[in-house]
Amino acid sequence: MYEYFEHTADLGLRILAPDLNALFAEAATALFAAVVDGLDTVQPQQRIDVEISGTDVDYLLFDWLRELLYRFDAEHLLLSRFEVTVSDAELKGSAWGEPIDPARHVLSHEVKAITYHGLRVERVGDRWIAEVIVDI
Amino acid sequence: MKQPYSGPLERIDANCVRIPRGYKPGMRVPGVIFVNDTLLEQVKKDQAPDQVANVAYLPGIVGASIAMPDIHWGYGFCIGGVAATDPAEGGVICPGGIGYDINCGVRLVRTNLGYRDVKNRIRELVRELFHTVPAGVGRGGAYKFSGKEMKPLLAEGASYVIGRGLGVPADLANMEANGRIDGAEPDNVSDHAIKRGSEQCGTLGSGNHFLEVQVVDHVFDAEVGQAFGLEKDQVCVLIHSGSRGLGYQVCDDALATFRTTHTKYGIDLPDRQLACAPADSPEGKRYIGAMRAAANFGFCNRQLLTQQAREVFERVFGSSWQDLGMTLLYDVAHNIAKLEEHTVDGKKKRLWVHRKGATRAFPAGHPELPAAYKATGQPVIIPGDMGRASWVLVGAPGSMERTFGTTCHGAGRAMSRTAAVAAAGGRKIEKELEARGVIAMAQSRRGLAEEQPSAYKNVDDVVEVVHGADLSRKVARMRPIGVIKG
């Protein structure tokens, strides 16, 4: 699950999940739900694959979201379904979606970038929590 | 997350408070916030003052970590922040002190139309602007530049697009730095950034960016107003946008490179978003070359937005834009860092002045000003919210003494985006604006709610402080009559 938290100029994403794989997938969902009104309007017609190496879980999450945001802005691709496998030194992820269709998609926020401010990924009890502030 | 600031704020004078250097152990200089009692409670509502203290950690920072009265909580730097660093003393360049939207800025285009000429055509004018000027998320523009064309565009700035007939050479004299920051290195701009930018030059974007038709409703300084070509009831066009995806990517690329520079250069920082490198280091120089290129893209973007607005006015009013007097008052950058000469303790120094949501405000006589404004000081354009007002100010001598030639940049947010949407409830913001005499069209209804007038501080209160502190002086106030937004 995810929720948005208050930040004066920008938007905070808070994600809770039982494991890291689900946390990363849910974070991507939260990002695109901020970009498009009604994520269910985005059909999973095409797939992109993402591989990122790194051992720092904060930066892995950052780089995963950053890559998806780039694909959106450069390739006009909306994404709505995500599968991620996070291991010790890398991330392998897939995302499904379709190109923007102004007739069916209502876009709401232009996310300029993912920021490092307040970025955290932590295990709390038997759950994982992540917080990311994105620049609007 | 949103907690009030409970640290020290010592009053220096009616328009200015200090965060003492002892507040945090790593502060190299004190913090100084330009604020009066009217705005002080607002400023303490979030962690923005704490961010002013964090910026005081930057190696080579000179004088103080400064914030303007439109200060609000950002990431790393507060918005409204100013920091000057001395490269001769290991001073750093800090991408977070510029922001993702490199050379976000505003420009004001005059017209010779009066309110009476426009008031019955405003709906048509706004509709035409809305359909012509690309705005909103994921919208490409009417202009596309190949990878090969992007290189000279990034190197030469606005003169490149004007050379292709998109404007006139006279426009250049009325832009900060003549619309071209020297020392740009297009080769330092990544392919990702070029790709994001190539279709976005001449697009407004989203968030707080806008194009507004405004009317001058009061001239405070008749002499300077005349020199600026502004008079009561005159219609103007205010454009607020930046370097779009290209700039965002340049900042993002630099911050990824800077993840390890604090270890390499032994820099102690309280926030990862303040990642930085010595300005004269290889990493610092590389970013500076790319940042200047992105700034040049920002000038080109606003130039192409101007051309599209001129074309719409030509269609609606049936005269050429030249006959409509659509000349540029000025174009200012409010997210940028520039190498400038300033006098510190009686010595002239070349400093990297970071302005993150702050505007250059050089006074009369400054050598960098164009001939037209040498005697008055530079025009400073301060956009407010879309229901109340915007301002034209003129740079004043106090800015050189107190803020490295800088003043405020806008109203500053008072509400978070989520709070603004909640406050809007089911209200129809465009109907409310219409009742106030403003015709607004936006791609996103949510965007309009997030940007509603009450989400911002009153820009008049902000201007009162910078006027009182002699950073810049009031010239004219404009009220909006037509708004287009992403």
A133/B75 CB distance under 8 A: yes
Higher pLDDT, B136 or B250: B250
**CB of B352 closer than 8 Å to CB of B279:** yes
The CATH number that applies at residue A95 is: 3.55.10.10
> Quick check: ipTM above 0.90?
yes
Size of interface A-B (CB pairs under 8 A): 115
Q: What is the mean pLDDT of residues B377-384?
A: 98
Please give the pLDDT value at position B20.
98
Mean pLDDT of chain A: 94
Q: Does domain B10-485 have CATH number 3.90.1860.10?
A: yes
CA separation (Å) from A127 to A3, A55, A123, B474?
A: 15, 20, 6, 55
- Confirm whether pTM is higher than 0.90: yes
What's the one-letter identity of residue B481?
I
A8/B76 CB distance under 8 A: no
Burial of B361 (0-12, 13-18, 19+ CB in 10 A): buried
B258-296 pLDDT tens trace: 999 999 999 999 998 999 999 999 999 999 999 999 999
B206/A118 CB distance under 8 A: no
Please give the pLDDT value at position A56.
92
Domain assignment of residue A24, given as a range: 2-135
User: Does residue A8 have a pLDDT over 80?
Assistant: no
A113/B259 CB distance under 8 A: no
Chain A hits for B94, CB-CB cut-off 8 Å, are: none
B446/A12 CB distance under 8 A: no
Question: CB-based contacts of B191: which residues, under 8 Å, 6+ apart?
Answer: B147
Please give the pLDDT value at position B140.
74
User: Does residue B364 have a pLDDT over 90?
Assistant: yes
Please give the pLDDT value at position B138.
67
Q: What is the mean pLDDT of residues B24-50?
A: 95
Question: How would residue B219 be classed by pLDDT, with cut points 50, 70 and 90?
Answer: very high
B295-313 pLDDT tens trace: 999 999 999 999 999 999 9
**CB of B405 closer than 8 Å to CB of B362:** yes
> What total number of domains does chain A contain?
1
- Mapped onto helix, strand or coil, the DSSP state of residue B403 is coil
H-helix or E-strand spanning residue B214: strand B210-219
Q: Is B245 on the interface with A (CB under 8 A)?
A: yes
Catalytic residue IDs of B:
409
Q: Is B398 on the interface with A (CB under 8 A)?
A: no
Cα gap B188→B53, rounded to integer Å: 32
Chain A hits for B74, CB-CB cut-off 8 Å, are: 8-10, 117
Closest Cβ–Cβ partner in A6, A113, A115 for B2: A6
Handedness of CA A93, A99, A105, A111 (dihedral sign): positive
CA separation (Å) from B24 to A69, B31, B56, B57, B215?
A: 36, 11, 9, 9, 46
User: Does residue B335 have a pLDDT over 80?
Assistant: yes
Q: What is the mean pLDDT of residues B12-17?
A: 97
Q: How far is CA B435 from the centre of its chain?
A: 29
Chain A hits for B241, CB-CB cut-off 8 Å, are: none
| Min Cα separation A50/chain B (Å) | 15
Closest Cβ–Cβ partner in A7, A76, A113 for B73: A7
Q: Locate tokens 């004299």: which residue?
A: B173
Percent of chain A with pLDDT over 70: 100
A113/B486 CB distance under 8 A: no
Could you tell me which chain B residue has the CA closest to the CA of A34? B446
Cα gap B361→B340, rounded to integer Å: 13
Q: Is B366 on the interface with A (CB under 8 A)?
A: no
Please give the pLDDT value at position B75.
86
User: Does residue A95 have a pLDDT over 90?
Assistant: yes
Cα gap A9→A23, rounded to integer Å: 25
B413/A9 CB distance under 8 A: yes
A109-135 pLDDT tens trace: 889 999 998 899 999 999 999 999 999
A55-64 pLDDT tens trace: 899 999 999 9
User: Does residue A9 have a pLDDT over 80?
Assistant: no
In the stretch 63-82 of chain B, residues with CB closer than 8 A to chain A read: 72-76, 79
| Min Cα separation A62/chain B (Å) | 10
Please give the pLDDT value at position B426.
80
- For chain B, the structural domain boundaries read 10-485
